[in-house]
Each structure stands twice: as structure tokens, then as C-alpha cells.
Structure 1
Amino acid sequence: MTNNKTLDKQLVINIAEQTLTMYQQQTVVVQYVVSTAKNGMGSQQDSGCTPLGKHVVAEKIGGSEPMNAVFVGRVPTGEIYDANLGELHPKRDWILSRILWLSGLEEGLNKGSNSQGSCDTYQRYIYIHGTPDSEPMSAPYSHGCVRMRNQDIIELFEQVEEGMPVTIVVD
């Protein structure tokens, strides 16, 4: 049986404001600060950009993991992030706590390919995920994903269903 309360929920990620807002029946339920791509907006493979347009939450990953659990290739490593681990691996793009894996819905924009090549959000592994709490929010610093505070992504994860609409807008 489908939960009707989730059918009218949606997420909107605003790049200009660096926010993720959950709406239910066009009413704001909750808003979080985020960090999108330092390379700006775009959907091409290897661009390091955050894709625009209509998406869905394709997969929820990590629901039973502890806060600050480290993921590599969407698999928990067994590590728990702390400042010492961060110093040991200064170049790692940390994916922590929870993953909401996005899939684009617009052919040639964020799904499939276009004249420049692959532009598929899902195949680019674009997520909403936790990041070290030492990382800045409210400014674009990611490699394409949407980064959130660990407490925030855990809270959001519990309110999101697979298939929930996610729209990424410029402003």
C-alpha cells in the first residue's frame, strides 16, 4: 500500500541559495543549508557540476549505518569519520552517514546522453549525502553532489521515499 503522505512531498534544491527545501502540498516542511558543485551547474559526465532539472530519489543507501559512517562506491567501509581519518586521507571526497542517489527524468538534460556525450545523473553517481562537519555549507564546494550536514541528511533520509521528486533549480 502506498503512503499517500509521501506522494505530495517533493524536494527542491536551490543552487543560488544553497538550500534544500522539502515541500508538502506546496508548504515548506523543512529547509537545510547545502553545498553544491564548485564547478557550477551542468550535467555532462566528468564535469564536476551539479545537474539541473527534474529528478527522483532512485535509491536510499545507509539507513542502518551510524552517523559519520564512511561510504566508498556506496558501500560502508566500516570506518567512522573523524578529524584524524580526515588528516590521513586529505584528498578523499567524503561520503558520510546516508546517500540519496538521484536519477534524472529529462532525456538529454539529466538522463541518457546529448550532443556532448553522457549527461545521466544516475550514471554520474550524483547523490545527496553527508559530508564532514568541518566542511563549509551555504557555498558551492562539492564535486557535483549535494552535500549536507550529517545530522541533517539523517533527518532528511527518514522523511524521504524512493521515487520522491527532486527538482534542482538555479534560483
Structure 2
Amino acid sequence: MFDRSRLVVESRSPRELPRRLSWALKRAGVRPTRDVLVVSVAAQQMMVFRRASRASSPPLYLQTRRFRVSTSRKGAGQVEGSNQTPLGLHRIARKHGGGQPIGTVFQSRQPVGLLWEGRPGAAICHRILWLEGLEDGWNRGGNVDTFRRYIYIHGFGDESTIGRPASIGCIHVSASDLLPLFDRTPVGAVVWITP
């Protein structure tokens, strides 16, 4: 069966980032980065945008990818211990797992084995993109700090859950989408998580 979720979606022409994202960036005093990831909790999908030109103001972007994800089964929310996916502006603070074989299982961001070594239900595998909130009091600082909540974009042992809410706060991505995302997206890239 043809899986439309794995298509590389190329914009026909460059366009501005979504208006609500542009407003959020301006309000937070954050400049858009070359690569911008947009996660929709409602649609259970991620869109990847890449700046087309530095010369334009505002900058124009091409949507280069769209794929399914899995966010929290408890919905969206900011508070530590809620097991919900945090909303708002974030950035990729750290990357873990580069150079590890596909199927690597992680605990505390350290490789501990492989999926086919009896770890099929591994909670975190393949690669990790650790998120940091960019909005004070909303997803940064206090009991709403995304980074201190250990919220990642990462692989998951049971990929059958991708496309529906199933995580405990993180954003799960299939290995086939996560590996190129990890390789192409630098630390510092903006990630916007919407309801």
C-alpha cells in the first residue's frame, strides 16, 4: 500500500512561515533559523521547513518534509510530571546517537543495546533530539521547563503507535524519518509545537 505520510513534500514556491509561528517568534524575540520544525499535536504530524533565501524579508521557506509522529497520550501541557507534550517555541538543544547503528536503545541518553537483542519495546531508540523551551514561564524555567522535563524527539521501539497519541510527553518519530531529520537538522533549529 502507498504510504502518503512518507512522501517528501516539496513546496512549489517559497512562502512565509505560518503567521501564528511568525507572531510567536516575534513575541519571544527569536529569529527564525535555517531549519524550522512544526509539530501539530492535533494532526500527529511534523512539517520540516528550510529557508529558501536570506535576501527576502520576512524570510521565505520551502516545506521539505511532512511525516507522522506520536505525541503524548495525555494531550498537551507544560507542567513537570504531567506526561504531556509541551506547546510553544523550542529549539534543539542537544543531539545524541549520531554514528550509532539503527536500532540502538538509549537510557539516560547512553547506548545500552539494540532492539533485536530482546528490547523490542524500547522507549527511546535510534536518535535523540533534546528540546529546550524558548518562552520564559511557558516552557522554560520553574516547573514548566521542557529541557528539565527531558522532552525529546526520538525513535520508539513500537512504531505501530506512530500517527496517534501514545507517548508520555516526547515526540516519537519512525526510524526512517528520524535518521535523515537528525542528520540534516542542526542544534539550535527552532521547533514549534502547536495544539
What is the deviation of 1:76?
0.7
TM-score scaled by length of structure 1 = 0.86
Task: State the SS of the aligned residue for 2:94.
Answer: strand
The structure with the greater share of residues assigned to strand is: 1
Aligned to 1:58: 93
Correspondences of 1:94-113 after superposition (within 5 Å): 94-113=123-142
Bigger shift: 18-27 or 42-51? 18-27
Report the Cα distance in structure 2 between the residues aligned to 1:129 and 1:44, rounded to whole angstroms: 20
In structure 2, the gaps of 5 or more residues are 1-31, 52-60
2:178 aligned with 1:149: no
Q: CA deviation at 1:11?
A: 0.4
**CA-to-aligned-CA distance 1:47-85 (integer Å, 9 cap, x gap):** 0000000000000110010001000001111x1113843
CA distance in 1, matches of 2:81, 2:158: 26
- CA contact 1:108–1:119 (8 Å) conserved in 2: yes
Residue 18 of structure 1 aligns with which residue? 44
Does structure 2 retain, via aligned residues, the 8 Å contact 1:133–1:150? no
Distance 2:77 2:128 in 1: 21
Q: How many residues align?
A: 155
What's the offset of the Cα at 1:134?
A: 4.1
* Higher mean C-alpha deviation, range 16-25 or range 128-137: 128-137
Percent of residue pairs identical:
36
Change (3 A) 1:157 1:134: closer
Report the CA distance between 1:161 and its aligned residue: 0.3
Relative contact order, higher structure (CA 8 A, sep 6+)? 1
Alpha-carbon deviations, 1:10-53, whole Å to 9, x = none? 00001111111111233211111100000000011110000000
C-alpha distance in 1 between matches for 2:163 and 2:109: 25
Q: Which residue of 1 aligns with 2:74?
A: 39
Q: Pick the aligned partner of 2:184 from 148, 156, 159.
A: 159
Structure 1 residue ranges (4+ consecutive) displaced by more than 4 angstroms after TM superposition: none
* Aligned-partner Cα distance in 2 for 1:122–1:46: 13
Q: Which residue of 2 aligns with 1:124?
A: 149
2:17 is matched with none
Compute the TM-score of the two structures, normalised by the length of structure 2. Answer: 0.76
Distance (Å, rounded) in 1 between the aligned partners of 2:102 and 2:158:
11
Amino acid at match of 1:55: H
